[in-house]
Amino acid sequence: MTLSPAPGSADAAASKIAATPAPRKPPSWWQANGFIIGLFGAVALAFVFPGPGSRHGILHADILNNAGIALILFLQGLSLAFEKVKEGAGNWRLHLVIQSFTFVIFPLVGLAMDAVVPLAWPGEPPAIRYGFLYLCVLPSTVSTSVVLTAVAGGNTPGALFNAAVSNIVGVVATPILVQLLMSKSGSAGDFGPLLLKITLLTLVPFGLGMALRPAFAAWVDARKQWVTRISNTVILFIVYSAFCESVEENIWAKYGIVLTLQVLVLVLVLFGGMSLLIFAACKLLRLPSGDAIAAYFCSIKKTLAMGVPLAILIFGQRDDLTLILLPIMFYHPVQLFINGLLANQWARQAAHH
């Protein structure tokens, strides 16, 4: 018979301390920025080994990309906690601000850039213009919008609802908006086959994931990190294969580093201008502090996770696909870095009040 230590004794206290799980270490810099590091790694790998990931390479990138797109959308549907989304459904003013910026104001700004930028940058490749138009019609992120809103002390249920709705609507709205905006530039193609392909590779797996979630919710929620890793791996492969094709076609030898720096400057101008516009709208509408924080993070952020797969479907196997992807690839780390600083700053301000 084993005797337990008496309550309040030194042995009992020691047992209690021993049984208490050690606090989890915060992620290292490498872990926190692993995906961005992976993006640069995928691009570098494409410049060193472009053959395997090109259109006729041994990896058969076109087949793997289509399968990967379906897998990402299936996992997103499977991971979407719709029961939590419903908690933020009643705040219509917040929804109106976020969805208007995502699918109306941002696209209008993209159209304005399409008209103005060529005047200031006469040698701009058309693919860069399409890339900024595409960036402006993408939906918001889900996970980072919600996390940053929570860190900053904002309306987390409202952020979750709007980020989820944005992604669901964006599967159909983004290709339609691309078609409408590019038709203004005379660059639109046949939309019927495109819509069918998007339906089969995005809406069907996304809907299947949502349908299966009630049965697998606990299993998936316990493995969120692995779901994210699988999705990120697929995105990195798509980026790798897209850059392989551009290297094989000598796109970068033609434009060089100057083009990259010009795109980065335009991304910073777009991000800064839209941030000021969102702040002004929240102030004009007198949104409560928590709603204003959710409105900002959900409105300003653009999803790379859905942006890359949809670009493959919308623009196909264009030789200049990497130029189209360049704005969103720069926008992604910019929004993570600046919004992370803002979230922590607002959290500190809230703690002092």
Query: Which pLDDT band, with edges at 50, 70 and 90, does 14 fall under?
Result: very low
Q: Residue type for 44, please?
A: A
Highest averaged pLDDT of the listed ranges 34-38, 52-56, 288-292, 344-348: 288-292
Taken in order 319, 242, 316, 186, the sign of the CA dihedral is: negative
Query: Is the distance from CB of 346 to CB of 340 less than 8 angstroms?
Result: no
Between 4 and 68, whose confidence is greater?
A: 68
Look at 345 and 242; give whichever has higher pLDDT.
345
* CATH architecture of residue range(s) 56-348: Up-down Bundle (1.20)
- Tell me what pLDDT residue 287 has: 94
d(CA 39, CA 236): 6
Alpha-carbon Rg of the chain, whole angstroms? 23
Q: How many C-beta atoms lie closer than 10 Å to residue 125's C-beta?
A: 18
> What's this model's pTM, rounded to 2 decimal places?
0.74
Please report the pLDDT score of residue 189 as a whole number.
52
Q: What is the pLDDT of residues 166-186, one digit of tens each?
A: 888 887 788 888 777 766 554
**Residue whose pair of structure tokens reads 């860190």 in the numeric block:** 151
CB burial of residue 166 (10 Å; 0-12, 13-18, 19+)? buried
**All structural domains of the chain with their residue ranges:** 56-348
For 57, counting Cβ atoms within 10 Å of its Cβ (0-12 exposed, 13-18 middle, 19+ buried), the class is middle
State pLDDT tens for residues 210-223.
889 888 888 888 88
Encode 292-312: b = buried (16+ Cβ within 10 Å), e = exposed: bbbbbbbbbbbbbbbbbbbbb
